[in-house]
Structure 1
Amino acid sequence: MDIEVEETVGELRQYFKTGKTKSVIWRKNQLTALLDLVHENEDAIFKALHQDLGKHPVEAYRDEIGAVEKSANNSLSCVEKWMAPKKSNIPLLFQPAKGEVLSEPLGVVLIFSSWNFPIMLALDPLIGAISAGNVVVIKPSEQAPACSSFLANTIPLYLDSNAIKVIEGGAHVCEQLLLQKWDKIFFTGSPRVASIVMSAAAKNLTPVTLELGGKCPAILDSLPKPSDFKLAVKRIVGGKWGPCSGQACIGIDYLLVEEKFSSALIELLKKIIRRFYGENPKESKVISRIVNKQHFKRLCNLLKDPLVANSIVHGGSVDEENLFIEPTILLDPPLDSPIMTEEIFGSLLPIITVNKIQGSIEFINARPKPLAIYAFTKDETFKRQILSETSSGSVVFNDTMVQFLCDSLPFGGVGQSGIGRYHGKYSFDTFSHEKAVMHRNLILEIEPRYPPWSNFKLEFLRLAYRLNYFGLLLHMLGFKLGLIRRT
């Protein structure tokens, strides 16, 4: 496998040098083929996602297949415009001249995808890499083996196998991949593994995009209208347990609310959970399971502390054989317990009460920067306060998760929640280098740029830098002053 990885990367680099992937025709053909892949293999994708994660077909389409189709169609319609050189205004000081910015592919790209959305988190970055004209290796997560196998067996049937390859395997394969020289590494996963990826990338000064996670908070302000309160809680339930049973980097990790509203909130949460998942969620067949026993035991361990267990106000039942944990609500668990210091990434929702909702800002700021903040409020002053006084990858007011599906907004983290951004044009930019190009002529020359130096030349240059428009004056008077001459 070690030799195979090295040979694969070498083959990709040689193919990239042919320039075939830079053409708009190649890029559009690959995007069209990718759309064919998901359209013609929808049932196979549903089956693989159910096998790995127990995802219902509707959830699988909403979060994976549909998201890929939307992204590919958007890139297909826009890629030619994205590729076009962009004119740049050149200050008068440098005239006569013209400038432009050319987007060129980075080269050989490595994409590490994650197990929680194993199809979408492999193909969505791939769409950006293809649109930018790169050659790509995809390393699917071994923790979603059915989806990994699907990608490895199906992608070569649709996409250019000289330019896009899938390499399966576990930790050893990842190590071998990281020993190679890449022009870009795109990683989705945990901060712990991201530090390993970044360390390896640093040896070759390889740029990285790291899509990580963090404890994403939701803030529920007072909403006097019962209909607003009900809709907000409905969206909170959807943002916590809807995507992969809470195993989502942008899922709600904990909920902040004023203490006086906590009882009403809990009762409505219970009611909506029953409506979504029935009296026995395990039998509903509409909620995903925990990915494997390791993660199942990790989540169970979060509840082992007696003080944490005593804070459970709903749910708490587990089924190890089926890797199922009931949607569980906890009220004010100890803030120093692992459930409040580690990313949950599962179906447990702590509710933290505060005296005044403005105190939620201080609470969030005392912790690492999250990937997303969700705030349900109609208070415009409070909105501005959240935006100005907190830092996060994104902020969503009065909804959850929807920012991930919006191609016109960048998606990415800050601090421990990630580095870089993607989606839509931002994906194209992530996998491109913007090359600056200036065109000058050989007609006019500014003599003070050259030795021998004098005080007059110093004052001339000082004035020229301070006043960009001074270049116009140079053109008007340069010949008379002898400072500009024809070459």
Structure 2
Amino acid sequence: MDPFEDTLRRLREAFGAGRTRPAEFRTEQLQALSRFLQDNRKLLQDALAQDLHKSAFESDISELIMCQNEVDLALRNLHTWMKDEPATNNLLTKLGSAFIRKEPYGLVLIIAPWNYPLNLTLMPLVGAIAAGNCVVLKPSEMSKGAEKVLAEVLPRYLDQSCFAVVLGGPEETGRLLEHKFDYILFTGSPRVGKIVMTAAAKHLTPVTLELGGKNPCYVDDNCDPQTVANRVTWFRYFNTGQTCVAPDYVLCTPETRERLLPALQSAITRFYGEDPRSSPDLGRIINQKHFQRLQALLRCGRVAIGGQSDESQRYIAPTVLVDVQEAEPVMQEEIFGPILPILTVGGLDEAIAFINRREKPLALYAFSNNNQVVKQLLERTSSGSFGGNEGFIYLTLSSLPLGGVGHSGMGKYHGKFSFETFSHHRACMLAPPGLEKLNEPRYPPYSERTQQLISWALSFPTCTLL
């Protein structure tokens, strides 16, 4: 028996009946999602603490508040987003109206990861609901606390004829992907992203892939090392480094490295205390498998700061590695943990060359007191997002999209971008049924005069008529 067949059939029937299309229905479901977040705040915080040892502060600012803001934005703007978008006519189509209609795709599958198990499940869900789709949510089986709340509590708030939460590991996800969906959004590793894209290709299903990668962080000689250290420390060790847009390695000159190391040590101590293991603000690694993987990476290069670990608690101290070689494992895979390698380069040009010979990252960061250095990094590299003298705080802006490029993903979402991602942009042209005499020049037999007339008409755009 196929465990998903009945669920998917129910959702497809609901979409076929047009249940999700009215603005009133979309609004009701978004309001219900808002109530879910408000009614279950403590339950959700506890689930995140269970899964990742997240503090209430980290849970709020990176998960609950961002999800609530996304819902509020969609509710404020839904009717505007849903409006037909006028398009410019030419003289040949002047008597008709041209416009773009935003239509739901149909049945959407959202496959979420474990590192931000609420944010990366619910934020795309907001866009899919706003766009009028039926949705299957597949939360990660690794974040068991969040998975339980999403599976048992969320369905009480949403219309279960249009939305479903399905559970399982890689085997069940593989079986789920055998079914035809109308759109798939996946967040995870490039390796699994290829599996998802291969499965989607069998049905010609469009996809958004939010993948990871090695995010470079260039630190210029002309900087205040303590300011840089404060910002890099917070963004590297936030959520215990288990963030897809966290700085994954630092590039700087040997001189800047020597100035940066004591500043990093100072920041780590101020943020997490002399014994970070006892800090309420430092989380834990998600499971034993990832802990073992990260412990192996600690053998790369030389530990300059931190390096302590405790397998019984899945604890790894905020760590800085130096004397790392590019060929070592820590530079070949996304770290996804509280480890920061520092590699030395001769300067800006060498750093740019280093970045550009690797796969395009999801995020890239540059720190310098010289604006021209930051601009050079921005203009001469490519990445999903860019931060100049800042980390991934831009994720709090719904006006900016989240998305990768090349190996780090394709497509984007957040705010209106989510609505656009989950909407089919249907090109529409409405013409009057009469006035056929005006169409005669476009019909055969063609003459040189009609060719000139049609060519002229095609070359002149006119004002939009709706």
TM-score interval (norm. to shorter)? over 0.9
Task: Tell me the CA shift for residue 264 of structure 1.
Answer: 1.3
Counterpart in the other structure of 1:409: 400
Superimposed CA distance per residue, residues 266-285 of structure 1 (whole angstroms, 9 cap, x where no aligned partner): 00000000011111111112
What residue is the counterpart of 1:452 in the other structure? 445
| Amino acid of the structure 2 residue aligned with 1:233 | A
- Alignment-derived partner of residue 236 in structure 1: 232
**d(CA) in 1 for partners of 2:366 and 2:382?**
13
- Greater relative contact order, per chain length (Cα 8 Å cut-off, separation 6+): 2
Indicate conservation of the 8 Å contact 2:189/2:212, yes or no.
yes
1:152-188 CA distance string (max 9 Å, x none): 0011111111111100111221012101110000100
Of the three residues 454, 460, 464, the one matched with 1:468 is 460
SS of aligned partner of 2:260? helix
Q: Which structure has the larger Rg?
A: 1
Distance 2:226 2:244 in 1: 25
Root-mean-square deviation (Å): 1.6
The amino acid of 1:12's aligned partner reads L
Pairing 1:99-110 to 2, within 5 Å after superposition: 99-110=98-109
**Secondary structure of 1:374's aligned partner:** strand
Residue deviations 1:70-124 (CA, integer Å, cap 9, x gap): 1111111111110111111212232122211111111100000100001111111
Aligned 1:375-414 pairs, distance under 5 A: 375-414=366-405
Alignment partners' CA distance in 1, 2:428 and 2:187: 33
Question: 1:333 is paired with a residue of what secondary structure?
Answer: coil
How many matched pairs?
A: 461
- Residues 174-323 of structure 1: pairs in structure 2 closer than 5 A: 174-224=173-223, 226=224, 229-242=225-238, 244-304=239-299, 308-309=300-301, 311-323=302-314
Give the distance between the partners of 1:428 and 1:460, measured in 2 at CA: 41
CA-CA distance at 1:239 after TM superposition: 1.0
Give 2:350's match in structure 1, choosing from 346, 351, 359: 359
Unaligned 5+ segments in structure 2 are none
Task: Please state how far the C-alpha of 1:200 moved relative to its aligned partner.
Answer: 0.5
Correspondence for 2:166: 167
Q: Is the 1:292–1:323 contact (alpha carbons within 8 Å) kept by the matching residues of 2?
A: yes
Q: How does 1:42-53 map to 2 (within 5 A)?
A: 42-53=41-52
How far did residue 459 of structure 1 move?
A: 4.3
**Alignment deviations for residues 124-157 of structure 1 (CA, whole Å, 9 cap, x no partner):** 1100100101110100100111111110001111
- Which whole-Å CA distance do the structure 2 matches of 1:36 and 1:461 have between them? 57
Q: Contact 1:317–1:325 at 8 Å: present in 2 too?
A: yes
What displacement does 1:357 show?
Answer: 2.7
1:303 deviation in Å? Answer: 2.6
Post-superposition shift, 1:20?
A: 1.9
TM-superposed CA distance for 1:464, in Å, is 4.4
Whole-angstrom CA distance in 2 between matches of 1:431 and 1:185 = 9
1:333-355 per-residue CA deviation (whole Å, 9 max, x = no partner) reads 01111111111111110011122
Letter in structure 1 aligned against 2:383: S
Partner of 1:477: none
Secondary structure of the residue aligned to 1:407 is coil
Question: How much does 1:456 deviate?
Answer: 4.2
Give the match for residue 70 of structure 1. Answer: 69
Q: CA deviation at 1:258?
A: 2.1
Query: 1:49 and 1:86 mapped to 2: Cα distance?
Result: 41
Q: Offset at 1:293?
A: 0.8
C-alpha distance in 2 between matches for 1:88 and 1:464: 17
8 Å Cα contact 1:116/1:248 also seen in 2 = yes
Calculate the TM-score normalised by the size of structure 2: 0.96
| Greater alpha carbon shift after TM alignment, 385-394 vs 261-270 | 385-394
Q: CA deviation at 1:463?
A: 4.5
**Does the CA-based 8 Å contact 2:232-2:247 persist in structure 1?**
yes
SS class of match (1:361): helix
SS at match of 2:214: coil
SS at match of 2:438: strand
Q: Hey, what's the Cα distance between the residues in 1 that align with 2:369 and 2:409?
A: 29
Shift of 1:379: 2.6
Q: How much does 1:286 deviate?
A: 1.4
Contact 1:258 / 1:357 at 8 angstroms: preserved in 2?
A: no
Q: Secondary structure, in 3 states, of the residue corresponding to 2:184? A: strand
> Aligned to 2:423, which of 404, 412, 432?
432
1:27-66 counterparts in 2 under 5 A? 27-66=26-65
1:301 shift after superposition: 1.4
Other structure's SS at 1:4 match: coil
Q: Name the counterpart of 2:128.
A: 129
Q: 2:411 aligns with which of 402, 408, 420?
A: 420
**Structure 1: stretches of 5+ with no match in the other structure:** 473-487
Identity fraction in percent:
41
Shift of 1:384: 2.9
Contact 2:209-2:411 within 8 A present in 1 as well: yes
Could you say what secondary structure the match of 2:348 adopts? Answer: coil
